[in-house]
Chains A and B, each alone.
Chain A
């Protein structure tokens, strides 16, 4: 049990949570890049 707890990521109950967070972070970055491309297009 202790080992299993040790294997958990920080701030999230399970790894799936951390993975989802990372993918959402990337989606936010891509949205930001789309906004930049549209706002500052030539």
Chain B
């Protein structure tokens, strides 16, 4: 896209600066550590609920999820099936204990149950995992937005990171929660408007239900997959079982989420905030995926690009493969026209199986052409990233939405990037201040001292995230490595917490050794999977790891008792 209109710039920047200014103004004058790290414990349930949802929903959620539905259908929603039950377990088991012990961080609880080394182990795993992930949370959308807005990648990174640092350093947890409300408001407004436009485009051509029927013919409406295949990424079993343990770990032990509900004015408000998330998360994800289905239908009547990453297309068209790429585009046009005609005929005769098969055949041909286009791009530049799912929604926004709304939708993406980053910085600073600095370095400081240190740590993690995001562009496999690292630690941390809650006889040394052994086993399983000796989808690690920690902890405790006797 060449240049954004001044109206879109005004809407986008106006929205973002208003949210930041509101966050800073609303939370000015925070004077103590409880006010800064727990938001003064004043949040009501709906602030907590929106804040919890905004923390989980990163920019990639809104860029990637519609693209995922466009390419693979609605199956991803199964990933969230374990979430409501996880919310209930956290509400009944985790929250009362966190409140009873008046903790600032989840890891603080582990010292009262076990010892300082177990607290340090889990806090360090969190700092490592989130510290690296914060950079990716900025980098991943920045690379797409910089291309769409035709501005330098590093400027986009500085812009997102800089705005987040301003209000997160200034107002701490309260600023994060307050801005989350505005950001979620902008996100929902933008997504509803985008869906509204897509539905109105669709209903110009056919009825809504006819459209869904057409999406179904091309395999996009299969929400539930009943096959129990440990290698498949999303099915109902991995969603309910693996998803339950993943969500339990993320919401129950990841400080970026725990801090959101610990800011509640009472246990009741914290619990209701989580119930709000438990009730709305699946419908929300379904809605975002459904926007992808509407996009897919839109592109059945408007010719889509063969490849959605315009930079790659420009590159291949400048290369020696330009003629071959052009030939692919011409083939795509022929397939598209033929398929479009058949879709209209199918709407007249929805029982006609031959028409249905012919549409499916053309759809397969179209997918093969997309695959061929990626192969050509790779021939032209072997280092090019050919994954273009994340560009599908934003390409529609910038090319087909009216002026003004483009700015609003871009504000949606920036807001989502800022909401998850701010929660991460806030949690990293809390863990560093409470679990590392106050516990192990300086225990006799006053309120003002710890408040200043918290602000300093927030700023420091913000700068680190920006540096990491800038560097991410230089190292090809960095993002993948960070994402893998994060998913490998979650299960072990959860295992330690589950032992703490449910296995009262297990002591600190047993759980500490069990956590180290389990983490090593998970890394071995991951390596075997990577080199295809086994086939295990990553959601299952979140079930296996806690099982291993519990099993080893109980066993080691038993063995140590026998030794003593």
Contacts and interface: CB of A to CB of B under 8 A. Distances in A.
B223 A36 contact: yes
Given A22-B88, A33-B77, A40 B215 contact: yes
B104 to A, nearest CB: 22
Interface string A6-42: 1111100001001100110110011001101101111
A37 B87 CA distance: 27
B275 A37 contact: no
A36 B282 CA distance: 15
B271 A15 contact: yes
B85 interface: yes
Instruction: Name the residue in A10, A23, A36 with the highest tally of chain B Cβ atoms < 10 Å from its Cβ.
Output: A36
Nearest to B215: A40
A15 B275 CA distance: 10
Contacts of B267: 7
Instruction: Name the residue in B217, B222, B272 with the highest tally of chain A Cβ atoms < 10 Å from its Cβ.
Output: B222
B268 interface: yes
B91 interface: yes
Given A22-B84, A22-B275, A26-B84, A40 B221 contact: yes
Contact of A37 (B85, B218, B222, B272): B222
Given A41-B222, A42-B219, A15 B92 contact: yes
A26 B277 CA distance: 12
A10 B85 CA distance: 19
Nearest to A38: B224
A11 B74 CA distance: 33
Report, as a range, how many residues of chain B touch the other chain.
20 to 34
Contact of B221 (A10, A26, A36): A36
B272 A9 contact: yes
Report, as a range, how many residues of chain A touch the other chain.
20 to 34
A22 B77 CA distance: 17
A7 to B, nearest CB: 5
A25 B282 CA distance: 10
Contact of B81 (A8, A30, A40, A41): A30
B505 to A, nearest CB: 28
Interface string B270-297: 0110010011001100100000000000
Contact of B279 (A22, A33, A42): A22
Contact of B88 (A8, A23, A39): A23
Interface in B425-474: none
A37 to B, nearest CB: 5
27 contacts: A6-B268, A7-B266, A8-B268, A9-B268, A9-B272, A10-B272, A15-B91, A18-B275, A19-B275, A22-B88, A22-B275, A22-B279, A23-B85, A26-B81, A26-B282, A29-B282, A29-B286, A30-B224, A30-B236, A36-B223, A37-B221, A37-B222, A37-B224, A40-B215, A40-B222, A42-B217, A42-B360
**7 closest cross-chain pairs (CB), A and B:** A40-B216, A40-B221, A33-B223, A42-B219, A19-B88, A26-B84, A37-B224
Given A9-B271, A33-B223, 19 more contacts: A6-B266, A7-B267, A9-B275, A15-B91, A19-B88, A22-B88, A23-B88, A25-B84, A26-B81, A29-B282, A29-B283, A36-B221, A36-B223, A37-B222, A40-B221, A40-B222, A41-B221, A42-B218, A42-B356
Interface of B: 74, 77, 81, 84-85, 87-88, 91-92, 212-213, 215-219, 221-224, 236, 266-268, 271-272, 275, 278-279, 282-283, 286, 356, 360
